[in-house]
Structures are given as C-alpha cells and as structure tokens.
Amino acid sequence: MNYVARIDAASASLALVTIPTPGDSARRYARASKSDGTLRAYGSALRSFEAWCSAHDLQAVPADVTTVVDFLSAEADAGRKVSSIAQKAAAIRWAHKTAGLLSPTDAEAVQNVMRGIRREVGVAPVQKQPATAERILTMIAHVPDTMAGKRDRAMLLLGFAGAFRRSELAALNVDDLTYGEAGVDVLIRRSKTDQEGQGKTVAVPHGTHLLPVQALRTWLVAAGITTGPIFRSVSRSGKVGEDAITGHTVANVVKRYAKLAGLEVAGFSGHSLRAGFVTSAADRGADLNRIMDVSRHVDPRTVRTYIRRADRYKDHAGSGFL
C-alpha cells in the first residue's frame, strides 16, 4: 500500500495518510479518536523511532519486526522507563494501524521482548507525594498577595478540593462553574477517563478551613475574568493573559510552593493535588464511594491503594510489641 507519513508540528502528532489522501474532515475525526495529550505523546514517540531508524538506515513505516525488537531493546538498554517504552510501542502500533498496515508490534517476538523488559527493568510506579490538607495549608501560607499569588492560591485549593487532574484544571472555563449555597459545581467537559466528552460535575463545597470557593472568586474578580479560561498566565507586572495555562504550569506551581514550604520538591507534581485529596479523605475515614464521587476514579482498586497507604500505620500488627 502506498502511504505518506507527515508530522504535524502544530499539534506534535503524526498523521499517517493512505493514498488517495482523505479529506480534512476525515483526518480531523481520525485524530479526534485520541486525546490531544495522547497525540502529542505519540508524535514524540514516533519522532524518536524515526530518528533511530534513520541512524541505523532502517525503514520506520512499515517497520520490520526485527527493527521494532531492536529499537525497544535499545530503549531499555538506554535506561528508559517501562512506561515510556510501552508508549513508544503503542505509538508504532497506532501509526501502522492508521495507515492500514499490519502492525509489527502484534508479533510474538515483540510481545516477548516487552515481557522481558517488564520483568528485567520493573514496572513499579513512582509514587508522587500527596499534597494532603495539612501540606496544602503549609504551602498556601507562602503564597504572596499578588495577582499571580491569587491565581496560584485558587489553583492549589480548587485543584485539591476537586481532586482534579492537572489537565482538567488547566482546561476549566468560567462557563463550567455553577455557584450555589453549598459551594460551586465544576463541570469537567472531558478527562482522561471520559475521552468522548460526556462530562462530569464535581461538587466543591465552600469549606471551613481551606475555603477553595472563596479563593476562586477572589482570583476571578481580581483578574476581571468573566468569560473564557479560568487559569491564565500572569506576567511579572501582574498583567493577566488571555489564553489558558497548560498542565505544566499547574505542576510548576505545585513544585514551587512545595519547595517554599520546605517539602521534598522532587516528590511533588501536578498529580499531588489529586492524590492529596484522596489521601486526606481516606485518612479521615471517608467512604470509598464518596471519595470516588469527587475523584471520578473508574476502578476502586486505584482508590484503595491510597486508602491502604493512609491506613498503613493504623492498627499495625506490631503496635503491641514494637
């Protein structure tokens, strides 16, 4: 089959187009089958694969089974994480399937190599430090009373109170907020577990300690934001931008205040807000289903991991003699 491979620099995604080339609408809908984040990750993975193939005078698409086996093995030898190697294998598979080609990743030889990499390199996830309620209090104590500070305070508190993923927090718009007597309903239009955009509403109460809704309103009023993105860039002079921040900004804000609070910054990320809410709720004995109402986890086993972590010293088997 004839084909062409084109890297879309604007979205950092690889578009594989069969000949005859489909129309713009077909390409757009095909790309929409994957989230923007996934497409960016696949684009990066495929550029890495293409560069490796070029350096070894090999063909990237369609790729030979031996080529893929050698590439994945080289990635493991270079110290890449298993999750990164698996993502590159998934990107290679997606590229071939999208082009209407048989994927070399389906071959038993590739599957065996991936199993060997998982066994030898290991797949234990790196646990990020949860920004628990106590840690959030310490972190916001270092937030300055500036325009950027008002944004950061609202970002930290809303992100924690809604157990939001960093991408969800960055994508929020004013139209996603519905205020009520008890707090604010926040509509998540699309998320990692809702790729088709059915939407999910998260209830964020006013609270009595952290006061996330108050912080959110203070930021919006101070910034004069009535429509569009909630969280935006703020210049050093305090000028608020027009465009939404990215998930990287959320992660950087979390790390910045974790460092100011004297916490081990290497263990914190954008996910720490989400993990912190679940951990804090579990530590206070909240019901699993009620935690999942906020966190929107699909698999309760994931939430139980946080609960076990929070409870690991409670009623310890050795507490009576250690």
Q: What is the pLDDT of residues 179-213, one digit of tens each?
A: 999 999 999 987 555 455 567 899 999 999 999 99
Determine which one of 96, 150, 232, 271 is catalytic.
Answer: 271
The predicted pLDDT at position 270 comes to: 86
Q: How far is CA 71 from CA 80, 156, 245, in A?
A: 12, 40, 35
Model confidence at 16, pLDDT cuts 50, 70, 90, reads very low
User: Is 223 a residue whose pLDDT tops 90?
Assistant: yes
CB 101 within 8 A of CB 3: yes
Q: Which of 151, 157, 142, 143 minimizes the C-alpha distance to 234? A: 151
pLDDT of residue 10: 28
* CA-derived radius of gyration, the chain: 23
State yes or no: is 96 an active-site residue: no
Q: Burial-class residue 34 by CB neighbours within 10 Å (0-12, 13-18, 19+).
A: middle
CA angle centred on 200, ends 229 and 11, rounded to 5°: 50
Q: What is the DSSP letter of 21?
A: P
Strand-pair category, 183-188 with 177-179: antiparallel
Catalytic residue among 88, 153, 274, 296: 274
Q: What is the mean pLDDT of residues 12-41?
A: 56
The structure tokens listed for 36 are 């923007």
Token couple for 71: 């590439």
Looking at the whole model, is its pTM more than 0.85?
A: no
80 among known catalytic residues: no
Q: What is the pLDDT of residue 240?
A: 96
DSSP bridge pairs for 138: none
Please pick, among 165, 166, 232, 255, the residue that the annotation labels catalytic. Answer: 165
* 3-state secondary structure at position 240: strand
Report how far residue 214's alpha carbon sits from residue 207's, in angstroms, rounded to the nearest whole number.
9
271 is catalytic: yes
Supply angle C-alpha 91, 92, 98, rounded to 5. Answer: 85
Alpha-carbon 123 to chain mean position: 18
Q: Find the catalytic residue in 28, 56, 119, 192.
A: 192
Whether residue 153 lies in the annotated active site: no
